[in-house]
Amino acid sequence: MSKPIPLLEQIGKDGRVWADLCEEYGVDNPDPPWRITLESTCEVLNEGACVLPSLERRDEEDDIVEDHYKHIPHPERQLLALAHTMILRGVITEEDLAQHMKVIEARLNAV
Amino acid sequence: MSNSHDHDHRPPAPMVDEVSDFEVLEVAVRELCIEKGLFTQDDHNEWTEYMHTLGPLPASRLVAKAWLDEDYKQLCIDDPVKASLDVGIDWINTMPTKFGTPSDYCNPRILVDTPTLKHVVVCTLCSCYPRPILGQSPEWYRTPNYRRRLVRWPRQVLSEFGLQLPEDVEIRVADSNQKTRYVVMPTRPEGTEGWSEDQLAEIVTRDCLIGVAMPRVDRKADDKRPIHRAVHPFGH
């Protein structure tokens, strides 16, 4: 079993999934707007220097989801699994990710 | 310049007016990858633009054309890459890599149903899917439950999708892989005699092209599917 990532566990616990947001705001788009950009990230990681081959990513996604995120819907769990894989592989660190998320959250919520 | 308009506007479509943790996480992962030089913003933009062009309409059109033209149907069977060109899909040259996509290599296959043979597609290994011609895979296609059970109990799984097949109809499950991607060409339903290609294309929905549904004259959209959790997850 892969080790848990506290930051991602917290997001999985507290984050609002797309289905809930759709219900609250009366939106019927089946996918969140970030689904395509997530898919693109997966594709470009699989291209060129091939940081993360697609088959490895999907295998790890199955395992990581089963271990940590099985109650979270797709594509939220695909995203968590990708971040989890990247941290376990040492490509990014949990601290870097937490710090960067704070910056982005402030940026996206700026008025 | 006047700001007034002399025409009516529809009320804006509702939108999610909230930044979720998941949205923030997606941006953070992407930007950190760019910061670390794993890919560039331009690389990412190119993929995103390409992804936005994908959907099931070209495959719907391909089936509708084949229903109306026996020669084209034969081309679909013999040379799906060439047949796809007629519906605007170039499996080889239009992806950002210019040689197919890393996860959609260029060996599409069209599986032709008959009244006594039903095809259905799965990827038991991961979630291989003919994205260039069918768009993004639905959530249920990626679940370990669908992937694991379809090959063992296809008739039962299809019935969960509402597709009840008579016992004398053989079900053939096609297992996709990184190189070979399958699209199902279902049988043309009764009641569509005299229909145009446009009319026919409308009833060939994504689920019909995967093989978990049959075209019906009164159905133009896929139903929302329940997600069954795997009792014994794939690979565990």
pTM, 2 dp: 0.82
Average pLDDT over residues B183-211: 97
Pick the CATH number of B56-210 from 2.10.10.90, 3.90.330.10, 3.40.50.720, 2.60.40.420: 3.90.330.10
Whether B187 and B214 have beta carbons less than 8 Å apart is answered as yes
CA separation for the pair B111, A72 (Å, rounded): 34
CA separation for the pair A54, A47 (Å, rounded): 9
What pLDDT is attached to residue B7?
Answer: 58
What pLDDT is attached to residue B232?
Answer: 67
* Mean pLDDT computed over every residue of chain A: 91
Q: Choose the closest CB to B43 out of A8, A38, A44.
A: A44
Share of chain B above pLDDT 90, in %: 67
- Cβ within 8 Å, pair B36-A92: yes
* Pairing assessment for the beta strands B170-175 and B117-122 based on DSSP bridges: parallel
* Closest-approach residue (CA) in chain B for A103: B28
A25 to each of A14, A18, B13, B210, how far by Cα in Å? 18, 10, 10, 31
What pLDDT is attached to residue B5?
Answer: 54
* Closest-approach residue (CA) in chain A for B54: A36
Residue B3 reports pLDDT greater than 90: no
Looking at chain B, the domain(s) classified CATH 3.90.330.10 span 56-210
* Closest-approach residue (CA) in chain B for A33: B23
What pLDDT is attached to residue B194?
Answer: 97
- Cβ within 8 Å, pair A101-B25: yes
| DSSP bridge partners of B108 | B181
Q: How far is B65 from chain A (nearest CA, A)?
A: 29
Confidence of residue B11 (pLDDT cuts 50, 70, 90): confident
CA separation for the pair B222, B208 (Å, rounded): 9
A19 touches chain B (CB under 8 A): no
Q: Max CA-CA distance within chain A? A: 43
pLDDT tens digit sequence for A47-63:
766 778 877 888 888 89
* Closest-approach residue (CA) in chain A for B142: A74
Residue A96 with chain B: CB contacts under 8 Å: 32
CA separation for the pair B37, A58 (Å, rounded): 23
Burial of B207 (0-12, 13-18, 19+ CB in 10 A): buried
Residue A60 with chain B: CB contacts under 8 Å: none
Residue B2 reports pLDDT greater than 50: no
Residue B79 reports pLDDT greater than 50: yes
Structural tokens at position A51: 């940081």
Q: How far is A79 from chain B (nearest CA, A)?
A: 7
Instruction: List the beta strands (DSSP E) in chain B.
Output: 107-112, 117-122, 170-175, 180-185
Interface test with B, best of A41, A59, A70, A96 (most B CBs within 10 A): A41
| DSSP bridge partners of B185 | B112
3-state SS class at B40: coil
Residue B124 with chain A: CB contacts under 8 Å: none
Q: How far is B236 from chain A (nearest CA, A)?
A: 8
* Mean pLDDT computed over every residue of chain B: 88
Average pLDDT over residues B199-207: 97
Residue B235 with chain A: CB contacts under 8 Å: 59, 62-63
What pLDDT is attached to residue B125?
Answer: 85
The DSSP code sequence of B178-225 is SSEEEEEEPPPPTT-TT--HHHHHHH--HHHHHTSS---TT--SPPP-
Q: Choose the closest CB to B44 out of A21, A40, A54.
A: A40
Residue B178 with chain A: CB contacts under 8 Å: 54-55
A97 touches chain B (CB under 8 A): yes
Catalytic residue numbers of B read 123, 126-128
Q: How many CB pairs under 8 A join A and B?
A: 160
Burial of A94 (0-12, 13-18, 19+ CB in 10 A): middle
Q: Is the reported ipTM for this assembly greater than 0.95?
A: yes
Of A53-62, B54-63, B221-230, the least confident: B221-230
What pLDDT is attached to residue B229?
Answer: 66
Q: Which A positions 25-64 lie with beta carbon below 8 A of chain B? A: 25-27, 31-41, 43-51, 54-55, 58-59, 62-63
- Cβ within 8 Å, pair A96-B31: no
